[in-house]
């Protein structure tokens, strides 16, 4: 289970490491619960970063198909 969660976090880190540019830190908070992984971003952040939003949605779909739910708040 721990290995699975770490793998998911690594995959998400790749999504948020878009272009490998130095733009500062991403205001992301992660909460790991037994039922799901919860991601918290400030309101409007994903709208301001549409390519990251599209990649994140695709990753969430892949993980959901694998039975690993992620909640975006």
Q: What is the CATH number of the domain that holds 41?
A: 3.30.70
Quote the number of domains for the chain: 1
Query: For residue 59, how many C-alpha atoms fall within 13 Å in the half-sphere facing its CB?
Result: 21
Burial class of residue 12 (count of CB atoms within 10 Å of its CB; 0-12, 13-18, 19+): buried
Count of all residues that appear for the chain in the document? 73
Is residue 41 within 8 Å of 27, Cβ to Cβ?
Answer: yes
pLDDT digit string, tens, across residues 53-67? 999 999 999 999 988
pLDDT(7) > 80? yes
Give the domain extent around 66: 2-19+27-72
What is the pTM for the complete model shown?
0.84
């Amino acid at each position: 289970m721990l290995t699975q969660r770490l793998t998911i976090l690594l995959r998400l880190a790749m999504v948020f490491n878009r272009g490998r540019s130095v733009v500062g830190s991403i205001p992301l908070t992660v909460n790991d619960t037994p039922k799901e992984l919860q991601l918290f971003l400030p309101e409007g952040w994903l709208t301001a970063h549409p390519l990251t939003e599209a990649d994140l949605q695709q990753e969430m779909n892949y993980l959901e198909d694998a039975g690993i739910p992620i909640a975006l708040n």
